[in-house]
Structure 1
Amino acid sequence: MSAPTTASRPRRLAMVLADLARGGIGKMRVHLANAFAAEGVAVDLLLARTDSPYRELIGPGVRLIDLGTSHAWFGVPRTAAYLLRERPDVVLTQRSRVNALVLRSRALCGLKMPVHSTFNTNQSAQLASLTPAKARSQLAQMRRWYPQNDGLIAISHGVADDAAALLGLDRAAMRIIYNPVVTPELHARAAGPAGHPWFSDGGAPVILGVGRLEPQKDFATLLDAFARLIAGGADYRLLILGEGKLRGALEAQVAQLGLGGRVALPGFAVNPYPYMAGARLLVMSSAWEGLGNVLVEALALGTPVVSTDCPNGPAEILEHGRHGRLVPVGDAAALADAIRATLAAPLPAAQLRAATARFTLATAAAQYLDALGLAR
């Protein structure tokens, strides 16, 4: 059994992740871990890989533990040893491989502490991006292990609907908890200088994209849309923050479109908020998402947004177009039109900021603690 939570022993939560990476998921998990610790929960953050720029954001109340591997089999001995030694009151996981690792480890130990898992993206779209053999293997693993969790959380209603249908799960039993995007530090961090001369040289205004340079983010469509905008006589510059395996292909596309002086890909930024605050518009061109954190971040800073109506999240964030235009996935012409229309008539900043009230760290942390049985 899990160790009792008493006045002499704080509530203990184990958050088990493959890594913090450089994307929104890692940043959201660090936000939550720090918030849980601030509420008096003893938080252990177990990572298979600890090399992440987000390590610097981990607060002193969070203990970082290096698992060395997140392999669903090879990671069992070290994970099981941790569970036996520390007896956390509850375990929170994400990703099917890590979830399987924790559930196997719990079974090996004969322990009963509850295990919860979070769905962070549209599972069907993610599987469709894999090779058929890998997709079949991952789907089989998900259908085997996810029903064995004591609780399941999704970061948007669309993600929950998809996971329930794909995996045969009870949709009514799943909790919907939006990501903790809006933190008390967000505006303070946005007040600093953006690390690129375009925000201070007095030149053409900047349109911003933020995300990994991977197929999921579909920056190729954003580049095509931007080329249409420029061909129509608009005077803007496009800056895309992020790094990934498609850098070479995107740079070649920039050259082929003749946009060399108007497009910059400066790489990953740990603090993208000054860029968002200084941009005229943020565009999210994703093929799929779990929520779309960058949309919330930009709105919180009063920056207008345009997004693809991808599965899942943007329609929920923007309330089906009320707070920003939505366009079909992969449609460069529609994206260019939406960008042009938004630049011509941006929504009031006060409306945009008010739209993010559902996505605060305080709200998400309280909902997670309740779902995990750790609330007081």
Structure 2
Amino acid sequence: MTAPHRLAVLVSFTGDGGVENMITNLLHGFVAEGMEVDLILLKARGGHLERIPPEVRVVRLDVSTSLLALPALVRYLRRVRPTAMLVAKDRASRIALIARRLAGVDTRLVLRMGMHLSGSLAGKSALRRWSRYLPVRRLYPWADRIVTVSEAVADDLSTIGHIPRDRFTVIRNPSIPDDLNTRAATPVDHPWLQPDSTIPVILGVGRLTAQKGFPTLIRAFAKLSQQRTLRLIILGEGPERQALQTLCRKLGIDDQVQLPGFQANPHAWMARASLYVLSSRYEGSPNALVEAMALGTPAVATDCPSGPAEITDHGRIAPLVPVGNPDALAAAMARVLEAPPSGSMLRDAVAAYRVPVSARHYLEVLGYRV
């Protein structure tokens, strides 16, 4: 590629979530392409900070709210004048759009949006929806380009913001790092996942929140476990832990279900599971589903907005079931356990989610020649 140019990436690292993981993966991809990168952190928390490439210059603003970062971001843009800036998350995007106008610079500004906004606000009050929709309509048209993680997210934001659909570019998440197989080969210190264990293990991964629909997975598992001996592991932490444990006791399956909490390396667990299940009510592009498929682990997913339909080729690669339907989920889980697809077919289906492929697409949209 041409000589490196300064690229800025603006984001809040607020924990160990999917966005932090994706941005960290992208940083590695950008560095591998010879880019000079500034990572501007509105907040700096979580384990992914340790994975930032040493070549990346980190600028920590450490503000309590995004709005407080506005003066510092304006000064940065005027002083450094990066060729382009990639911004992730909604609040950071709003501040970046305002800051560029105030700074009066010609930095190319690209937003990265990963959430299906209308899906995440389903059932919320009209005031809550309006407060989230208004910035999209007023500010997002100022961006040079909006990258989304799925076609459905692009369609959703185009409708919400009254923004022409051709202003959006869909780029698959950089979900599959180059060291995925190495991470997957790491031993797992759990008795259910040892080589001599013969009982199939079903795996779910995600924050223990209502979004992830884990009660549906637990009810489906309870139904299926009446027909055969199985175990269920759900990785993640969150406010729903107590409710999920109570549900397991109520269904009489608490000895067959474990919630080990957040795991820094879920890939080792995925590689040893018999089946991965995504039970979400809504998503943007579910990274854990992609990662499991990249490891050749059979999968079942809810047909939620958005992502699973595109990842699974509308159910051809892995079954899709209605959201919140434990009977349909149990039936699909049984079918896949009885006749799992080939690992090579699953891996081929998610090839576009590899870090080098995704990073090059991002650089093209940001205006760099690769």
Task: Work out which of the residue numbers 229, 233, 240 in structure 1 matches 2:234.
Answer: 240
CA spacing shift, 1:307–1:153, aligned 2, 3 Å? same
Verify: 1:218 aligned to 2:220, yes or no. Answer: no
CA spacing shift, 1:67–1:254, aligned 2, 3 Å? same
Amino acid at match of 2:156: D
1:217-270 CA distance string (max 9 Å, x none): 110110111111112x21110000111111111111111111111111111111
Give SS of 2:40's match: strand
1:281 aligned residue = 275
After TM superposition, the structure 1 stretch with the greater mean CA deviation from structure 2, 146-155 or 50-59, is 50-59
Q: Do the aligned partners of 1:38 and 1:61 also contact (CA within 8 Å) in 2?
A: no
Percent of residue pairs identical: 41
Instruction: After TM superposition, give the deviation of residue 273 of structure 1 in Å.
Output: 0.6
Q: Do the aligned partners of 1:308 and 1:326 also contact (CA within 8 Å) in 2?
A: yes
Amino acid at match of 2:224: L
CA spacing shift, 1:129–1:30, aligned 2, 3 Å? farther
> In structure 1, how many angstroms separate the alpha carbons of the residues matched to 2:57 and 2:247?
44
Amino acid at match of 1:17: V
Map 1:95-110 onto structure 2 (within 5 A): 95-110=89-104
> In structure 1, how many angstroms separate the alpha carbons of the residues matched to 2:98 and 2:352?
35
Q: Do the aligned partners of 2:200 and 2:230 also contact (CA within 8 Å) in 1?
A: yes
Amino acid at match of 2:166: A
Instruction: After TM superposition, give the deviation of residue 278 of structure 1 in Å.
Output: 0.2
Alignment TM-score, normalising by the size of structure 1: 0.94
- Where structure 1 has 5 or more consecutive residues not aligned to the other structure, the ranges are 1-6
1:255 aligned residue = 249
Amino acid at match of 1:314: P
Task: Work out which of the residue numbers 14, 17, 23 in structure 1 matches 2:11.
Answer: 17
1:191-229 CA distance string (max 9 Å, x none): 111232211162522100011111111101101111111
Give SS of 2:44's match: coil
Instruction: After TM superposition, give the deviation of residue 368 of structure 1 in Å.
Output: 0.5
Q: Do the aligned partners of 1:93 and 1:117 also contact (CA within 8 Å) in 2?
A: yes
Verify: 1:51 aligned to 2:45, yes or no. Answer: yes
Q: Do the aligned partners of 1:205 and 1:237 also contact (CA within 8 Å) in 2?
A: yes
1:322 aligned residue = 316
Verify: 1:81 aligned to 2:75, yes or no. Answer: yes
Amino acid at match of 1:229: L
Give SS of 2:283's match: coil
Q: Do the aligned partners of 1:49 and 1:67 also contact (CA within 8 Å) in 2?
A: yes
> In structure 2, how many angstroms separate the alpha carbons of the residues matched to 1:148 and 1:336?
46
Verify: 1:92 aligned to 2:86, yes or no. Answer: yes
Give SS of 1:117's match: strand
1:172 aligned residue = 166
> In structure 1, how many angstroms separate the alpha carbons of the residues matched to 2:202 and 2:37?
39
Verify: 1:342 aligned to 2:336, yes or no. Answer: yes
Q: Do the aligned partners of 1:70 and 1:97 also contact (CA within 8 Å) in 2?
A: no
1:4 aligned residue = none
> In structure 2, how many angstroms separate the alpha carbons of the residues matched to 1:226 and 1:246?
18
- Runs of 4+ deviating beyond 3 Å: 7-10, 129-132
> In structure 1, how many angstroms separate the alpha carbons of the residues matched to 2:259 and 2:327?
22
Q: Do the aligned partners of 2:292 and 2:298 also contact (CA within 8 Å) in 1?
A: yes
> In structure 1, how many angstroms separate the alpha carbons of the residues matched to 2:362 and 2:307?
19
Map 1:138-157 onto structure 2 (within 5 A): 138-157=132-151
Instruction: After TM superposition, give the deviation of residue 112 of structure 1 in Å.
Output: 2.0
1:263-285 CA distance string (max 9 Å, x none): 11111111111100000000000
> In structure 2, how many angstroms separate the alpha carbons of the residues matched to 1:59 and 1:272?
21
Amino acid at match of 2:204: G
Verify: 1:159 aligned to 2:153, yes or no. Answer: yes
Task: Work out which of the residue numbers 18, 29, 40 in structure 2 matches 1:35.
Answer: 29
Amino acid at match of 2:292: A
Instruction: After TM superposition, give the deviation of residue 60 of structure 1 in Å.
Output: 1.0
Instruction: After TM superposition, give the deviation of residue 85 of structure 1 in Å.
Output: 2.3
Instruction: After TM superposition, give the deviation of residue 69 of structure 1 in Å.
Output: 2.3
Instruction: After TM superposition, give the deviation of residue 371 of structure 1 in Å.
Output: 0.3
Give SS of 2:181's match: helix
Alignment TM-score, normalising by the size of structure 2: 0.95
CA spacing shift, 1:38–1:259, aligned 2, 3 Å? same
Q: Do the aligned partners of 2:136 and 2:160 also contact (CA within 8 Å) in 1?
A: no
1:178-199 CA distance string (max 9 Å, x none): 0112221001110111232211
Verify: 1:63 aligned to 2:63, yes or no. Answer: no
1:35-57 CA distance string (max 9 Å, x none): 11121211111122211111222
Give SS of 1:31's match: helix
> In structure 1, how many angstroms separate the alpha carbons of the residues matched to 2:11 and 2:342?
39
Pairwise CA RMSD: 1.8
Instruction: After TM superposition, give the deviation of residue 173 of structure 1 in Å.
Output: 2.5
Map 1:275-314 onto structure 2 (within 5 A): 275-314=269-308
1:3 aligned residue = none
Q: Do the aligned partners of 1:54 and 1:270 also contact (CA within 8 Å) in 2?
A: no
> In structure 1, how many angstroms separate the alpha carbons of the residues matched to 2:176 and 2:342?
19
> In structure 2, how many angstroms separate the alpha carbons of the residues matched to 1:206 and 1:290?
26
Amino acid at match of 1:205: P
> In structure 1, how many angstroms separate the alpha carbons of the residues matched to 2:15 and 2:45?
8
Amino acid at match of 2:80: E
Q: Do the aligned partners of 1:80 and 1:105 also contact (CA within 8 Å) in 2?
A: yes
CA spacing shift, 1:68–1:36, aligned 2, 3 Å? same
